[in-house]
């Protein structure tokens, strides 16, 4: 994991002094975005600083790893698609990916969206694999978990928001979709309040998606760094076995969390889309 490597690369005295004087600053240093990629003790790659019309569009560490993850997705899924063209009976990695795709289609997307689910299946598959690859890639030494960046999770939740609204509008029309958001039989006196609540509800759903993924992915990193930091903060070698044992346990738990969070984000996205395209009038 990147934080194991980066922490091990720093002198003990530095970590100890940072833990005693800087509080949690050294932990934030490892989980926050940066304009460089740290490969200590082998070196550091400084990423270019770019501006467009006065806006900072610099390539950051998380952007750098998003590019790598996207490239890996393109390579893997292209290979899988190519093998299907050669043989209708999947083998090896193709069989593994087919199992995941069928699970998402038959156990997530089809039950939650129902009729017309095929339109949204490519988007939901893309979201699932991107989050899964991002979460697992963050467990590799020197890598970064891009889904621990709230800007990334906000962008993913924003895409689900637009897919949800566009799906509902395409199904019922703009005014028909808005009309469907208001429950039947509402007294006229409380309609203004209900309208406000329903509009806020449209935004709270993607907000919950954003915060859930961000919080779960960053929490594991912070816990592991905190456990490792106890060794240097307390200045005792006797703390090391307990800290390392708990850190390894959390690390293994993070593998499970990486898969679960990709599943939850995809399932909730599919559920929100299904609620929008099948409003009870």
Cβ proximity of 7 and 30 under 8 Å: yes
Q: Give the pair of three-digit tokens for residue 5.
A: 């490597």
Give a yes or no: residue 178 inside a domain. yes
H or E stretch at 34: none
Strand partners, 52: 55
Residues 6+ apart with CB under 8 A from 264: 212
Distance CA 107, CA 112 (A): 9
pLDDT of residue 277: 87
pLDDT of residue 156: 96
Place of tokens 């593994």: 96
Based on the structure, what is the number of domains in the chain?
Answer: 1
Q: pTM value?
A: 0.83
Strand partners, 46: 36
Give a yes or no: residue 115 inside a domain. yes
pLDDT of residue 4: 36
Give a yes or no: residue 1 inside a domain. no
Three-state DSSP class for residue 140: coil
Give a yes or no: residue 260 inside a domain. yes
pLDDT of residue 7: 41
What is the extent of the structural domain holding 133?
6-277
Give a yes or no: residue 124 inside a domain. yes
pLDDT of residue 32: 78
pLDDT in tens, the chain (281 residues): 443 334 434 444 444 444 444 455 667 767 777 887 777 777 778 888 887 887 877 888 888 899 999 999 999 888 888 877 777 677 778 888 888 999 999 999 999 998 889 999 999 999 999 999 999 998 888 888 899 999 999 999 999 999 999 998 988 888 888 887 777 777 777 878 888 888 888 899 999 999 999 999 998 888 888 888 888 788 778 888 888 898 889 888 899 999 999 999 999 999 999 988 876 65
What digits encode the pLDDT tens for the residues 164-218? Answer: 999 989 888 888 888 877 777 777 778 788 888 888 888 999 999 999 999 999 9
pLDDT of residue 280: 61
What digits encode the pLDDT tens for the residues 252-261? Answer: 889 999 999 9
């Amino acid at each position: 994991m990147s934080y194991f490597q980066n922490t091990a690369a720093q002198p003990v005295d530095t970590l100890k002094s940072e833990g005693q004087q800087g509080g949690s600053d050294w932990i934030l240093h490892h989980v926050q975005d940066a304009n460089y990629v740290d490969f200590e003790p082998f070196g550091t790659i400084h990423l270019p600083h770019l501006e467009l019309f006065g806006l900072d569009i610099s390539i950051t560490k998380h952007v750098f790893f998003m590019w790598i993850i996207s490239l890996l997705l393109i390579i893997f899924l292209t290979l899988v698609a190519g093998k299907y063209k050669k043989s209708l009976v999947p083998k090896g990695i193709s069989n593994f990916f087919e199992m995941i795709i069928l699970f998402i289609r038959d156990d997530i997307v089809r039950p939650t969206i129902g009729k017309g689910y095929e339109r949204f299946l490519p988007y939901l598959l893309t979201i699932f694999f991107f989050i899964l690859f991002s979460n697992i890639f963050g467990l590799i030494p020197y890598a970064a978990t891009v889904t621990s960046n709230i800007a990334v999770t906000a962008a993913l939740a924003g895409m689900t928001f637009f897919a949800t609204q566009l799906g509902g509008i395409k199904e019922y029309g703009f005014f028909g979709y808005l009309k469907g958001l208001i429950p039947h039989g509402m007294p006229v006196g409380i309609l203004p309040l209900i309208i406000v609540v329903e509009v806020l509800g449209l935004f709270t759903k993607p907000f919950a998606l954003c915060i859930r993924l961000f919080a779960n992915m960053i929490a594991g990193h912070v816990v592991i760094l905190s456990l490792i930091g106890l060794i240097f903060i307390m200045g005792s070698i006797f703390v090391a076995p307990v800290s390392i044992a708990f850190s390894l346990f959390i690390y293994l738990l993070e593998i499970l969390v990486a898969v679960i969070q990709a599943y939850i984000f995809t399932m909730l996205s599919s559920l929100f889309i299904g609620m929008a395209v099948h409003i009870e009038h």
